[in-house]
Structure 1
Amino acid sequence: MSLESSNPIRTEPVTGAGVWRAGDFSGPGDWTEVLEECEIAEVERALAVAKGHGSSPGTLSVDDFPLPTVKRRLEGIVDELEFGRGFAVLRGLPVEKWTVEDAKLVYWGIGLHLGTPVSQNAAGELMAHVRDHSEGELGDPSVETRAYRTRSELPFHTDSADIVGLLCLRNSGRGGESTLASSMTIYNHLLAHHRELLGLYYRGFVYDRRAENAGDEIPYYRNSVYGYFDGLLNCRFYMTHYIESATVKSGIPLSDIERHALELFQEIGSMEEHCLTMKLRTGDIQLLNNNVVVHGRSAFQDEPGRRRDLLRLWLNTRKARKYPDDFAAFRFGMPKTQ
């Protein structure tokens, strides 16, 4: 079926494994894949091969990072991300004994087996450190920095790629827990209890580009929260702080009903029966499908000698969903694959 430029509203509840509640899981073992010793050894052999070729992230190819056994596990994770619950944790990478550069090379190599890395900002950065860069608090209207560069609490949101991956090099002393909710479950709740608001989410909101507009681009853009294409519902809900700062730049205030819709989305996701909380361990890779899962984070505080540091990859999968260019387009004008 060819894609339409219109965005029809889905009027039936979403079904399938991507519609989950916190009570559907007995604990972290339900979503955690623990690498076996032989698999870790295979990863370290692949690292040695890549270093022997003089490879670096960005120049490494999937053939330069051979994972004959581990790649089958990674293929299963991709299936789970796209067709299952939409999130997973890969546990057991011994990053504490690697240099940061080696950890980046391993992470990049694993990422290539999961999908295609895509740009995370206007500078074309393909791997980013998620840590406190001491650039201010997210709620400060004078702060132009991106959310991942702060230690602030982050509300539920998605990122601008099919998959977001976080490799935990070191977690914080206090705080920094991840929060997850199924955006499909949120949708079903809206459909059942707030059906009259659905059109607002399909119309979407205006977001601040956070000083990363290129050339003659205006410093804000509109994006729909939900899109229904080829029989699949997709969600892209970007940072609400960016919506607030966009009202200043555009001069267009949010209406009371729009503000209510934004707050309601967060409230539904945060319901105890909907929200999962997890704290990543050193060596964990958390993987989330932005089309069906929203995520957030509690505020964190670094302690002396213990600086929270996660490496982030944005990936488009080879099984990526198809949707029109005006839905979930990259804010920086990048193509959906590169």
Structure 2
Amino acid sequence: MPAPSADTILTEPVTGPSAWRAADFSDEGDWVTALTPAEVAELDAALATARGRGLPLESLTVEDFPLPTLAKTLEATVQELEFGRGFSVLRGLPVERWPLEDARLAYWGIGLHLGTPVSQNAAGELIAHVRDYGQGGVENPTTRAYRTRSALPFHTDSSDIVGLLCLRSAGRGGVSTLASSMSVHNHLLAHHRELLGLYYRGFVYDRRTEEGSQELPYYRNAVYGYFDGLLSCRFYMTHYIDSAVEKTGIPLSGIEKHALRAFQDIAAMDEYRVDMTLRPGDLQLLNNNVVIHGRSAFEDVPGRQRDLLRLWLNTRFARRIPEGFARFRHGMPVTR
């Protein structure tokens, strides 16, 4: 089959479950799946099996982490992520009684049942801690956003699926916010049609010192692309757009700044936004093709540091998109 084209701008509204609005949900029960005691016991048994293999994480397979019952729940979750609303929360992983290494191993095993993990940074990390590393805020041009306690605007990650397993919640703040990028596109189509071409052309993003020695320290990526009858979104951190200007020497135009503000403002409208506070043991899963996410700033308190484990995954149902549309969809190259 020919490669999907990147030349088409969608001019009809997106329909279906991925184009959701806040009013489509009555409460968190619409997206939370609580694990049963039997499923948790199955996780504990699978942990023992995987530990007994004595293999590094990247060498383990689904067969090393058997989940005969929970696998059905995970398969239903994948279906929801790929063909439904595009987000879900699995609740009840016993992270408070698991040592960190067991939590990492259990999370990895769950991830293998969901899809294929990919590298998240230049160090090649497949599981990364999302916490305050004390390196300054997201305005620091050498720091990735997940290593700060800053408020993060709406954005996507690079892979198709991003998972966040909450080990410890913040003392204050850290509220997760989601919106459907499909509904944002529908709003743009109805009210700001003149801006659509800017999003399909995309913006230049800073690599934030994670480029290789022979690579440019920035790259361009489209926000929207319409391929094989499906609209996909990649909208990376706007702070990375701002810091890229210092490296390219090309300032953003007034209309580009307006388009970036409009995207954020639309996503933040009560009509489209869903807020949730993750508790320890919650696993939030998002499809970056159809869902954008952000968070409020957070503060740690003595003896309690907010800590989430992140996985980037692609499932076997991954949609076909051109190689250049989602630059690091299959993982960031290891340069360190």
Q: Deviations over 1:72-94 (max 9, x none)?
A: 00000000000000000000111
Pairwise CA distance, 1:207: 0.1
Alignment partners' CA distance in 1, 2:149 and 2:57: 26
User: Is this contact kept in 2: 1:164–1:288, CA < 8 A?
Assistant: yes
In the alignment, does 2:28 pair up with 1:28?
yes
Q: Deviations over 1:223-268 (max 9, x none)?
A: 0000000000000000000000000110000000000000000000
Larger mean CA deviation between 149-158 and 115-124 belongs to 115-124
Letter in 2 for 1:221: Y
Counterpart residue number, 2:208: 210
Pairwise CA distance, 1:2: 2.4
Counterpart residue number, 1:70: 70
User: Is this contact kept in 2: 1:3–1:230, CA < 8 A?
Assistant: no
Pairwise CA distance, 1:58: 1.6
User: Is this contact kept in 2: 1:122–1:332, CA < 8 A?
Assistant: no
**Aligned with residue 149 of structure 1, among 147, 150, 155:** 147
| Matches for 1:212-231 after TM superposition, within 5 Å | 212-231=210-229
RMSD: 1.3
| Matches for 1:108-257 after TM superposition, within 5 Å | 108-140=108-140, 143-257=141-255
Letter in 1 for 2:268: S
SS at 1:311 equivalent: strand
Distance 1:39 1:185, change over 3 A: same
- The runs of at least 4 aligned residues of structure 1 exceeding 2 Å deviation read 1-7, 331-335
Q: How many aligned positions are there?
A: 333
Counterpart residue number, 1:271: 269
Counterpart residue number, 1:326: 324
Q: Deviations over 1:148-185 (max 9, x none)?
A: 00000000000000100000000101000100000000
Counterpart residue number, 1:311: 309
Letter in 2 for 1:235: C
State percent identity of aligned pairs.
69
User: Is this contact kept in 2: 1:212–1:332, CA < 8 A?
Assistant: no
Larger mean CA deviation between 234-243 and 117-126 belongs to 117-126
Distance 1:333 1:56, change over 3 A: closer
Alignment partners' CA distance in 2, 1:74 and 1:21: 24
| Matches for 1:27-66 after TM superposition, within 5 Å | 27-66=27-66
User: Is this contact kept in 2: 1:56–1:105, CA < 8 A?
Assistant: no
**Structure 1: 5+ residue stretches without partners:** none
Alignment partners' CA distance in 2, 1:59 and 1:332: 18
Alignment partners' CA distance in 1, 2:246 and 2:133: 24
